[in-house]
Structure 1
Amino acid sequence: MLVVAAVGGNALLQRGQPLTAEAQRANVKIAALALAEIVRAGHQLIVTHGNGPQVGLLALQGAAYKPDEAYPLDVLGAETEGMIGYLIEQELENALGHDHAVATLLTQVIVDPKDAAFGAPTKFVGPVYTQQEAETRAQAAGWAIAQDGQYWRRVVASPKPVEIPDLRVVRLLLDQGVTVICAGGGGIPVVRRADGSMIGVEAVIDKDAASALLAADIGADALLLLTDVEAVFSGFGTDTAKAMQWLSPEEGRALQMPAGSMGPKIEAACAFADQGGVASIGRLADALKLLNGAAGTRISAAPKS
């Protein structure tokens, strides 16, 4: 099977961990071991990943410069895609014993410049803060902020991905048996101008939405949305919480999950299922089990077997 595995940013850098290269490499190494199981089982693999903590960190570092010297989010997104892709590529090669080709592709993703998301930021980036600290930073830097669990974080525009022009390069690599790491952080957000040329925009695309678009357009058989929770739960956070093993797209959309956490994963899984694919949501460590239907939550338009 052709599998798209989307690794969440929080699975690569867990909440409360320092934003260091060492911490990220340690988490990537664990992720690579789980992803390598999919390749060893004989499947073709495309890996995507989040970048929320990392792109927010780079934006904070850029704040040390003059306002006109700070890099825009599309450039920071490209930097994080290269950085995280490098770590995943190297650790996945190590996990596979260097007998399998792995390549990272910086991936442009086209968005609509008129997308309403530009006026309503929802995408979490950067570290977590107390409410007071977040409000202080927001006032000083002109941020939009929102609550993320018990903490607060910066939020930025997250337009819907429309087209992946680099898809033809992904196909070329797959034809050569390469495991491809692409669309990192949702891809580099760009718009197409009237003359057909492209230019980056100030945004961060949701990784799960981009992964669903990629999986559908490339003709993948399965989409794995890998995170730090074992499944989608009904009554999450209550004494009656229960893991759901199977959902139809209609049931998934009716759950009305939080926009900044499980919500995008449910919507991405439902979008892929609408196209006839099978999507699964669950823990990174259970990647192969998710693919085999032995763990997590499976979302499919086909009747439950």
Structure 2
Amino acid sequence: MREPENRRVVVALGGNAMTGPDGTATPQAQRAAVAIAAECVADLVASGAEVVLTHGNGPQVGNLLVKNELTAHVVPPVPLDWCGAQTQGTLGFTIVSALESALRRRSIPVPVAAVVTRTLIDPADPAFGRPTKPVGRHLPRAQALHRVAQGQHWVDRGAAGWRRVVASPEPLEVLDARAVRTLLGAGFVAVAAGGGGIPVAHGADGTERGVEAVLDKDLTAALLAVAVGADTLVIATDVPHAMLDFGTERERPIARTTARELRQHAAAGQFTEGSMGPKVEAALRFAEHGGRAVITTLDRITEAVAGTAGTVVAAAG
């Protein structure tokens, strides 16, 4: 085992770490996937790093929305912010249990805790005027138009059917970052800001209220990493590097780069919106705040923190 790094690291787990290899989101498949992720994270903790985990929740929220649809005549449907909170709780519990077991097998007495986390957004964000984030299942046209009449936004996806789209506003602040810092200071691994956090806005009375929206988990992870004073942000995905000229004969991996250089590649349209684009943007935002960001696969997160794997984005000078 290497000498302890004594780094503070935020790891953003991709959706592939929360579901089966084929995208299955049964409880059994989710537990199995989380157990695999926990082994990788336990190795990172064993290296001496202080760790915060964040994660996706898209399939889980989608399942809750289907339950809303199928049981609306019996149980009142719950809004998207409630769906986010519920999936944070379920996945937090699952991750905590799996990671505690993995650490116990390594005889590492580090406790783990999950924080149900809120993320502040601006209710005037332009994203509310152009919902684009797909959620839930595809439906036939007639059923979709019935929901459109109820005020929802649905788009025609061709042969697959119609799908609901919702706003994905810019995350502005992780409101519960102080709780995460407190856990880290007490020696915990913290699980926080799942699914990008529960979107909330300031009400007229100064309190926070939930908002019907979903947030990009990687962009929130960058915010969280800055807020907790992390040295490194690792965005764990299903590819070992970000690529230039992806899908062409000139395709090539990006190993080490600067924030300035990567920003130029992003401006040139090198990274697909909705896929690698948000991951690169999150890495850039953290690097431009003085940290180091890495994009790589889950099984290489310890090497990523050491700077020997993935697309390493150096801190902006």
Whether these two folds match at TM > 0.5 is: yes
Alignment equivalent of 1:210, drawn from 205, 216, 220: 220
In 2, the alpha carbon distance for the partners of 1:91 and 1:53 equals 19
Do the aligned partners of 1:134 and 1:145 also contact (CA within 8 Å) in 2?
A: no
1:2-56 CA-to-partner distances (Å, cap 9, x unmatched) read: 0000001233225633220111111111100111111000010000001111111
1: CA distance, partners of 2:251 / 2:91: 34
The TM-score, its normalising length taken from structure 2, stands at 0.87
Establish whether residue 286 from structure 1 lines up as the match of residue 296 from structure 2. no
Contact 1:115/1:159 (CA < 8 Å) preserved in 2?
Answer: yes
Q: 1:269 — aligned with what?
A: 283
Matching of residues 10-159 of structure 1 within 5 Å: 10-14=16-20, 16-66=22-72, 69-97=76-104, 99-126=109-136, 138-142=144-148, 143-145=153-155, 154-159=164-169
One-letter amino acid matched to 1:157: A
AA partner of residue 41 (structure 1): S
TM-score of the pair, normalised by structure 1: 0.90
SS of 2:172's equivalent in the other structure is strand
Change (3 A) 1:78 1:96: same
Task: Supply the distance in 2 between the matched residues of 1:151 and 1:36 (Cα, whole angstroms).
Answer: 42
What is the total number of aligned residue pairs between the two structures? 297
* 1:237 Cα deviation after fit: 1.9
**Is the alpha carbon distance of 1:198 and 1:215 closer, same or farther for their aligned partners in structure 2, counting shifts above 3 Å?**
same
Instruction: Give the counterpart letter for 1:237 in structure 2.
Output: G
Sort the Cα spacing of 1:38 and 1:146 in 2 relative to 1 into closer, same or farther, 3 A. Answer: farther
Larger radius of gyration: 2
CA contact (8 A) 1:54 1:126 kept: no
User: Distance between the aligned counterparts of 2:122 and 2:59, measured in 1?
Assistant: 25
Distance (Å, rounded) in 2 between the aligned partners of 1:145 and 1:20: 27
Aligned residue for 1:237? Answer: 247
Tell me if the contact between 2:259 and 2:316 (Cα under 8 Å) persists in the aligned partners: no
Tell me which residue corresponds to 2:310: 296
1:63 counterpart SS class: helix
Indicate the percent of aligned positions where both proteins have the same amino acid: 44
Displacement of 1:165: 1.9
Unaligned runs of 5+ in 2: 1-6
* Distance verdict in 2 for CA 1:172–1:72, change over 3 Å: same
CA contact (8 A) 2:194 2:217 kept: yes
Deviations 1:119-173 (A, max 9, x none): 222334346x6xxx676764454343487xx999643211111122212211211
C-alpha RMSD over aligned residues: 2.3
Rounded to whole Å, the distance in 2 between the matches of 1:193 and 1:145 is 30
Match of 2:3 in 1: none
Q: Deviations over 1:224-257 (max 9, x none)?
A: 0001111101121223321110222233233332
CA distance in 2, matches of 1:271, 1:260: 17
The answer (yes or no) to whether the contact 1:289–1:295 under 8 Å persists in 2 is yes
Find the residue that maps to 2:71 and give its secondary structure. Answer: coil
Query: Any unmatched runs of 5+ in structure 1?
Result: none
| Bigger mean CA deviation after superposition, 75-84 or 9-18 | 9-18
> CA distance change for structure 1 residues 36 and 244 in 2, over 3 Å: closer, same or farther?
same
| SS of corresponding position for 1:64 | helix
